[in-house]
Amino acid sequence: MSILNRLLAATALAAMIVPGTAYAGGTVEVLHWWTSGGEAKAVGELKKAFEAQGGKWIDSPIAGGGGDAAMTALRARVMAGNPPAAVQLKGPGIQEWAKQGALNDVQDVASKENWDSVLPPVLAAIMKYEGKYVAAPVNIHRVDWIWANPQVLAKVGITEMPKTWDEFNADAEKLKAAGITPLAHGGQPWQDATIFEDVVLGVGGAAFYRKAIVELDQGALTSDTMIRSFDQLRKLRGDVDPNFSGRDWNLATAMVMKGEAAFQIMGDWAKGEFLAAGKKPGVDFLCSPTPGGAFNLNSDSFTFFKVKGADRLEGQKVLASLIMSPGFQETFNLAKGSIPARTDVKLDKFDSCALKSQADLVAAIKSDSLVPSMAHEMAVPRTVRGEFLDLVTNFFNSDMTSAEAVKQLAAGVKRAQMQ
Ligand code: GAL
């Protein structure tokens, strides 16, 4: 028997012993960017739960906070005609891929489980294309947070978290005078854009944020309020350490944990890092919203790309149902730092930061001050977001004036809209 025949015979034998490759819960390849300590723990819960249902999980993590590298990898996979079955995708990105016909819907699962009755309408709308669910949300993350190390603040007599940007600036001066880095920051475009949009929210409020960053109104983009926002961003540039360039966001969180910096402005995935390191909220770290009295929304969700084979199609359905199950939403979000996307999950096991997030979310919906994050792909198409990221990063890394910044930003946004 030739080697090839022997190999074929062995394979046939193996196939007889292990009948087929179908798993009870199907098979999914999952593309995501959750590779930091807290993120890996959270996605590990999803994998564990999927496997517990008899499914086979093929992990495809693409490192890089904010998901820009993952989105590049996704485009390559789709171009090659080999998309992963499940992909972490958000906001307008969901609509863009659905419009191209790349997504399977999971409407039969959603109808059976009545997702419409347990999701906030604002979130349900993002998950649907032409009236059908094409994505399942795992969480609600809040982007407008300041994290702090209370022991470091105590060294300079700061007893309360800053509530306005002026208070933040005054605290930063005190810290600098004592030789302490006020702001832990990673100089990557999405992180620069994260602090930028939080600043805009604080300087201009929710209505202004919406006009400038969501509706892309040229008047708002070139307004004095936007100039003042860049002025504040310039101040924050003076609060970071010399090695900020290129630093990953979780390393910036670690600086706060270790007392190497006082504050970090970052979404509550940072809380996932503190928790994964065994830190306690209110004791080892503090959380409070950035100024603005609003809520900057980011929600992670999974979409289901068009794949072939009953096993993989089954995997997509099982995963969609699992993601939306109340028990999973609790376990996952306890690790991730976010709160459940479902409104009917009890929060008794959640900490004070999560409860604050939930209360502020409800208040923001009531007062119409809930805004979608641009930096985290909830607000505008990728091309427009790209213009924001380029400009904000250029500003942060040069001595560009605020007046020049608003001019370039407005022109860039217009350019992207014309594409
Ligand atoms: C966000 C995402 C979060 C977190 C963060 C850093 O865009 O929604 O879940 O992973 O990036 O990677």
Q: Residues near ligand 1 with C-beta < 6 Å?
A: 33-34, 39, 65-67, 141, 249, 269, 298, 300, 376
Helix/strand/coil for 309: coil
Q: Based on the number of CB atoms within 10 Å of its own CB, is 372 exposed (0-12), middle (13-18) or buried (19 or more)? A: buried
φ, ψ of residue 304 to 5 degrees: the values are -125, 105
Residue 377 or 19, more confident: 377
Alpha carbon nearest to ligand 1 atom 2, residue: 66
The tokens describing 67, both together, are: 């998901």
Alpha carbon nearest to ligand 1 atom 11, residue: 66
Question: Does a structural domain hold residue 26?
Answer: yes
Query: Does 266 share its domain with 285?
Result: yes
Residues of the domain holding 224? 142-297+373-417
Question: Does a structural domain hold residue 251?
Answer: yes
Question: Does a structural domain hold residue 11?
Answer: no
Question: Does a structural domain hold residue 368?
Answer: no
Compute the mean pLDDT over every residue in the chain, rounded to the nearest whole number. 94
Query: Does 291 share its domain with 406?
Result: yes
Query: Does 258 share its domain with 405?
Result: yes
List, for residues 31-84, the tens digit of each pLDDT value.
999 999 999 999 999 999 999 999 999 999 999 999 999 999 999 999 999 999
Name the domain boundary from 353, 383, 398: 353
Question: Does a structural domain hold residue 336?
Answer: yes
DSSP string, 353-375: HHHHHHHHHHHHHHTT-EEE-TT
Question: Does a structural domain hold residue 58?
Answer: yes
Query: Does 152 share its domain with 256?
Result: yes
CA atoms within 13 A on the CB side of 290: 29
Helix/strand/coil for 73: helix
Our count of domains for the chain comes to 2
Query: Does 207 share its domain with 293?
Result: yes
Query: Does 188 share its domain with 241?
Result: yes
Q: What Cα–Cα distance (Å) separates residue 51 from each residue in 13, 45, 46, 272? A: 26, 10, 9, 23
Alpha carbon nearest to ligand 1 atom 1, residue: 66
Ligand 1 mean position, distance from CA 65 (Å): 6
Ligand 1 mean position, distance from CA 295 (Å): 16
Question: Does a structural domain hold residue 358?
Answer: no
Torsion over CA: 200, 203, 207, 208 (sign): negative
Residue 268 has pLDDT above 70, yes or no: yes
Ligand 1 mean position, distance from CA 141 (Å): 8
Q: What is the pLDDT of residue 199?
A: 98
Query: Does 177 share its domain with 281?
Result: yes
Residue 123 near residue 298 (C-beta atoms within 8 A):
no
Query: Does 266 share its domain with 379?
Result: yes
Task: Give the atom of ligand 1 at the shortest distance from the alpha carbon of 376.
Answer: 7
List, for residues 156-191, the tens digit of each pLDDT value.
999 999 999 999 999 999 999 999 999 999 999 999
Query: Does 131 share its domain with 162?
Result: no
Query: Does 101 share its domain with 199?
Result: no
358 band by pLDDT with thresholds 50, 70 and 90: very high
21 band by pLDDT with thresholds 50, 70 and 90: low
Ligand 1 mean position, distance from CA 71 (Å): 13
Ligand 1 mean position, distance from CA 336 (Å): 10
Query: Does 307 share its domain with 377?
Result: no
Task: Give the atom of ligand 1 at the shortest distance from the alpha carbon of 249.
Answer: 6
Which of 141, 247, 332 has most ligand 1 atoms within 8 Å of its beta carbon, as the pocket-test mutant?
141
Which of 264, 376, 378, 389 has most ligand 1 atoms within 8 Å of its beta carbon, as the pocket-test mutant?
376
198 band by pLDDT with thresholds 50, 70 and 90: very high
Query: Does 266 share its domain with 390?
Result: yes
Share of the chain above pLDDT 90, in %: 94
Q: Based on the number of CB atoms within 10 Å of its own CB, is 163 exposed (0-12), middle (13-18) or buried (19 or more)? A: middle
Task: Give the atom of ligand 1 at the shortest distance from the alpha carbon of 36.
Answer: 12
Alpha carbon nearest to ligand 1 atom 8, residue: 300
Domain of 349, CATH number, reads 3.40.190.10
C-alpha 302, offset from chain centre: 12
Task: Give the atom of ligand 1 at the shortest distance from the alpha carbon of 375.
Answer: 7
Question: Does a structural domain hold residue 363?
Answer: no
Question: Can you give the pTM of this predicted structure?
Answer: 0.93
Find the helix or strand (DSSP H, E) in which 48 lies: helix 37-52
Q: What is the pLDDT of residue 91?
A: 92
